[in-house]
Structure 1
Amino acid sequence: MGCFGFLKIMMFLFNGIIFLAGAGILAVGIWVKVDSGSILGLLQNLNNGPPELKQVLNVGYLLIAVGAVLLLLGFLGCCGAVRESKCMLLMFFVIILIVFIVEVAGAIVILVFKGVIQTTISQVGVTIVDSIRKDYGKNADVTGLWNTTMTVLTCCGFNNYTDFTGSPFVQNTSLYPQQCCKTGPCREYNATVSNISGCYPALIKVFEANSIVIIAVALGIAALELISMIVSMTLYCKIKAKDS
């Protein structure tokens, strides 16, 4: 098997994985939009939410779009390699190039508008806290979502235990959620000294602790995209030379 055959096999295998990944992401995106009980459904029911929150709620559409693009890429790459189609390989290259440019532009936007993003998160946080004080202990979906989140992340509220002050749960039981205290019944005095952080600070710590992994994954994806472009153009040129 020569270099040309090896490139065809690698192109087929690599894009087969892309095709399967696209199918999975597309399925998740459709599930998010269909499942009214998902976390996005809860966010949509928040009152007086900032306009920026509406963009967050479009993540289901984003997943569907990403999944569809990956499906198309996988199909073009596999069929282009197997059928030795210059048109498909060229389309594959162009789409990968566009995705790569968009990713670079997105990274630049995040770096430049980091302060705006933090402000938006703070505005969303105010709305979330209002929802906690209104529905925690009364709405089973909200209560269950927060209990699960706090248990998994070992955190308390969005900012801290005071987010639950005035909530139906505290009013009815005179207690705070047990996740807000390390031991014993959770009342304000021991919630104050337990120093269990809020879920937002906890999530930030998780991202900071795994920042190297996140950067490595991003660089790995960028490298794969570059390799894909090189391989597709190499095949394109070899097929073109073969046909001429």
Structure 2
Amino acid sequence: MDIGTSLVKYILFIFNIIVSVIGISVIVYGVIIMKSIELIKVNGEVGFPPSGLLPIVLIFMGSIVLFISFLGCCGAISESICMTMSYAVFMLILLTLQLTLIVLRFTNKDNFDLAMGDVIEKAWEVDRGRGGVFDPIQKSLHCCGHYSAADYLMSAQTLPESCCDGACMNPLNIFGGCRAKFVDTMSVNTDRTKYVVIGLIGVEFIGFIFACCLAKNVRNNRAKSWAENEAESGSESGTELRNLP
């Protein structure tokens, strides 16, 4: 194996170790966000609120990156063309999906914010502040009502405890509306996620290039070795024929 192939091999291995660390960091980041989100209980069922979707996506994405980088490490060390090309194909698919998500996020920000607002609107329409699904959403997001606490007052309802940080008699303790709070929360989190994904795309693209280079070099070296062996075998056969009486 030539020096160039050895260099690419170890660069790809070290690179995938770094990618593995990044994948683990994305998983940890998702877990931290998930822990900051309070569970909600609806009809006796405990689960995550709508804002819990983002950390789940991050954990899932980090797990995929970790798996692919492990495949790349194994392919680099073993110099397996099959594993290295599989790694390159998976990386290309992942790059395409991530780039598509980023483009959609950039070009459809208003639609995204509208969709997040619709989540709260539908929850309010179903519950109307009667202590069902909307109460745990208020506890999780620290908000009150669809647009504001006035939603309860217009329905001739008293403010629930989830609407206030302390006694609801004090207007300063009342939280703002859930729709705006949820849209802002998701917008901030997705902006952070966007930059994390952009960084991953850049790193993964470098890994894709190194994987293709390594697979090409290993294939060329093996073809060269095979040709040399065939030439040596042919030379030995010719010598044996000449030596026959």
Above 0.5 in TM-score?
yes
- How do residues 54-65 of structure 1 correspond to structure 2 at under 5 angstroms? none
Identity in percent: 20
Q: Could you tell me which amino acid in structure 2 is paired with residue 186 of structure 1?
A: C
- The answer on 1:130 being equivalent to 2:125 is yes
Structure 1 counterpart SS, 2:128: helix
Q: Distance in 1 between matches of 2:119 and 2:52?
A: 12
Question: Would the aligned equivalents of 1:81 and 1:89 in 2 still touch at CA under 8 Å?
Answer: yes
Q: Give the alignment partner of residue 100 of structure 1, picking from 75, 95, 100.
A: 95
Q: Could you tell me which amino acid in structure 1 is paired with residue 211 of structure 2?
A: S
Q: TM-score, normalised by structure 1?
A: 0.61
Question: Would the aligned equivalents of 2:24 and 2:62 in 1 still touch at CA under 8 Å?
Answer: no
- How do residues 121-200 of structure 1 correspond to structure 2 at under 5 angstroms? 121-136=116-131, 139=132, 143-150=135-142, 155-165=143-153, 171=157, 174-177=158-161, 179-180=163-164, 185-187=167-169, 191=171, 196-200=175-179
Aligned residues: 207
Structure 2 alignment gaps of length 5 or more: 40-44, 224-245
Q: Distance in 2 between matches of 1:123 and 1:64?
A: 25
Q: Distance in 2 between matches of 1:142 and 1:96?
A: 41
Q: Give the alignment partner of residue 18 of structure 2, picking from 14, 19, 35.
A: 14
Q: Distance in 1 between matches of 2:210 and 2:125?
A: 53
Question: Would the aligned equivalents of 2:88 and 2:212 in 1 still touch at CA under 8 Å?
Answer: yes
Question: Would the aligned equivalents of 1:11 and 1:77 in 2 still touch at CA under 8 Å?
Answer: no
- The answer on 1:38 being equivalent to 2:17 is no
Deviates more, 1:219-228 or 1:3-12: 3-12
Question: Would the aligned equivalents of 1:11 and 1:231 in 2 still touch at CA under 8 Å?
Answer: no
Instruction: Give the match for residue 48 of structure 1.
Output: none
Post-superposition shift, 1:38? 0.8
Question: Would the aligned equivalents of 1:157 and 1:164 in 2 still touch at CA under 8 Å?
Answer: yes
Post-superposition shift, 1:63? 7.3
- The answer on 1:241 being equivalent to 2:220 is yes
Structure 2 counterpart SS, 1:37: strand
Closer, same or farther: CA 157–243 of 1 in aligned 2, 3 Å: farther
- The answer on 1:216 being equivalent to 2:195 is yes
Instruction: Give the match for residue 50 of structure 1.
Output: none
Question: Would the aligned equivalents of 2:139 and 2:162 in 1 still touch at CA under 8 Å?
Answer: no
Structure 1 counterpart SS, 2:168: coil
Q: Could you tell me which amino acid in structure 2 is paired with residue 162 of structure 1?
A: A
Q: TM-score, normalised by structure 2?
A: 0.60
Q: Could you tell me which amino acid in structure 1 is paired with residue 101 of structure 2?
A: G
| RMSD (Å) for aligned C-alpha atoms | 4.5
Closer, same or farther: CA 219–112 of 1 in aligned 2, 3 Å: closer
Structure 1 alignment gaps of length 5 or more: 44-55
In the TM superposition, what whole-angstrom CA distance separates every residue of 1:151-182 from its partner, at most 9, and x where no partner exists? xxxx4344221344488xx85xx44436446x
